[in-house]
Structure 1
Amino acid sequence: MNNKVKFNICNCHYALQRAAEDGEMAFDTPVAMPGAVSLALDPNGEPESFYADGIEYYIIANNMGYDGDLELALIPESFRTDVLKEEADGNEVLVENANSETGAFALLFEFDGDVRKIRHVLYNCSASRPKIEGKTNEESREVQTETLTVKARPLASGYVKAKTGNRTSAETYEGWYKSVYLPVPKAETGGSGDDTEGQG
């Protein structure tokens, strides 16, 4: 399949998603997730055809986001408590509770292999509990990674993801991991913004 994205991921962050007072979606400050190994995402949803008059009369868009895996050297404890909702007890032992609901979050990242280091954000993500697995050491030691199955779904507004481009302003690019980027209507930008040569 040619629709899979998998590169050398870096600068991985997550930001908890919550409902703001006005009912719109808002996000907390992004938190770094060190040790990202790989990211593989497949688009979810294929265009559907409507036939009339003996022809393909209309093509129905069906963007249901992305599904895939995020592989990490070790899932950060903050992600386990913030998103997977594991609870620290009185002895600071992380406890998994079947009655807890996992949290929604935005996933921010960039690919080291990109010449311009394009920065991405996926909105409205959820993550499943990782497998518990490991194996004994043999003649050579092999690092045991942990994998999260991630689902990114459209927000109520329809937004699924965003990424920097060749004309993204330097201010937006540099502040990508300070707060989750949300689309701004062109009328509010006051123009096209400064170009970020060699970044985007």
Structure 2
Amino acid sequence: MSENKVAFGLKNVHYAVITKGEDGAETYGVPKRYTGAVELTLEPKGELSEFYADDTVYYSASTNQGYEGTFNAAEAPEDFRISVLGEKLVGGLLVEDANIKPKPVALLFEFDGDVKATRHVLYNVTFNRPGLASKTKEDATEVSTNELSFMAAPRAKDGRVKIKTSSTTTEEIYNKWYTAVPEAVELPIV
């Protein structure tokens, strides 16, 4: 399969809650769909350090601390508010309190392309709670969206931040992308 020349669109956003076992090992839940995706932006987080000697850049190094991002979508699903943001359902009401501790998740999504959609996974994402805004209807109805800021940090066990499909991704891996959080596995050299 050839490579995409361009990317556009955003769809198939899913999240999988991370659970930490008693031994400290982290496991991912089954990915759940987050409908109503509008926009997702990722800004690299890290530094480029330069050391000067002999009147030139003698050494340079960069650090990858993941990404800072925003996710803009329609109303956040109740399950996401409860299982990820930490809100509680009390007497039929969603309650947010000052003691909320968001749970980290894997975030799965795809950008369409001229050949095939590129699927992505961010392994260790922590969302901040969304703001709340709306405005009066005028001659046309304007839909309000929620913007969630998040941090996508390197995974503790191996430092991985994200993976994405490529022109060499097998159909089996591509088709199972949203059934479980995919992992990149080194294939044995034959």
Same structural fold, with TM-score higher than 0.5 when normalized by the shorter chain: yes
User: Cα distance, 1:142 vs. partner?
Assistant: 0.5
1:165 is aligned to 166
Higher strand share: 2
User: Cα distance, 1:53 vs. partner?
Assistant: 4.4
Give deviations 1:130-184, integer Å, cap 9, x for gaps: 1111111111110111111121011121100000111111111111101111221
Find the residue that maps to 1:57 and give its secondary structure.
strand
2:57 is aligned to 56
**Which residue identity lines up with residue 131 of structure 2 in the other structure?**
K
**Which residue identity lines up with residue 153 of structure 1 in the other structure?**
A
> 2:117 matched to 1:110?
no
Runs (5+) with no aligned partner, structure 1: 1-5, 192-200
Distance 2:175 2:153 in 1: 26
1:133 is aligned to 133
The 1:74/1:153 distance shift into structure 2, 3 A limit, reads same
Find the residue that maps to 1:179 and give its secondary structure.
coil
> Is the deviation greater in 98-107 or in 50-59?
50-59
TM-score normalised according to structure 1 size:
0.85
> Is the deviation greater in 112-121 or in 78-87?
112-121
The 1:113/1:145 distance shift into structure 2, 3 A limit, reads farther
1:30 is aligned to 31
User: Cα distance, 1:102 vs. partner?
Assistant: 0.7
> 2:105 matched to 1:101?
no
Distance 2:58 2:76 in 1: 48
Question: Any residues of structure 2 matched to 1:152-191 within 5 Å, and which?
Answer: 152-156=152-156, 157-187=158-188
User: Cα distance, 1:98 vs. partner?
Assistant: 1.0
1:47 is aligned to 48
1:19 is aligned to 20
Question: Any residues of structure 2 matched to 1:70-81 within 5 Å, and which?
Answer: 70-81=71-82
RMSD: 1.8
The 1:83/1:8 distance shift into structure 2, 3 A limit, reads same
The 1:114/1:48 distance shift into structure 2, 3 A limit, reads farther
Instruction: Using CA pairs under 8 Å that are at least 6 residues apart, name the structure with larger relative contact order, 1 or 2.
Output: 2
Runs (5+) with no aligned partner, structure 2: 1-6
1:142 is aligned to 142
1:84 is aligned to 85
Find the residue that maps to 2:130 and give its secondary structure.
coil
User: Cα distance, 1:17 vs. partner?
Assistant: 1.2
Aligned positions, number? 183
Retained in 2: the 8 A contact 1:122–1:160?
yes
Find the residue that maps to 2:124 and give its secondary structure.
strand
1:195 is aligned to none
Find the residue that maps to 1:80 and give its secondary structure.
helix
Distance 1:20 1:49 in 2: 40
TM-score normalised according to structure 2 size:
0.89
> Is the deviation greater in 118-127 or in 20-29?
20-29
> Is the deviation greater in 125-134 or in 42-51?
42-51
Find the residue that maps to 1:112 and give its secondary structure.
strand
Distance 2:95 2:86 in 1: 9
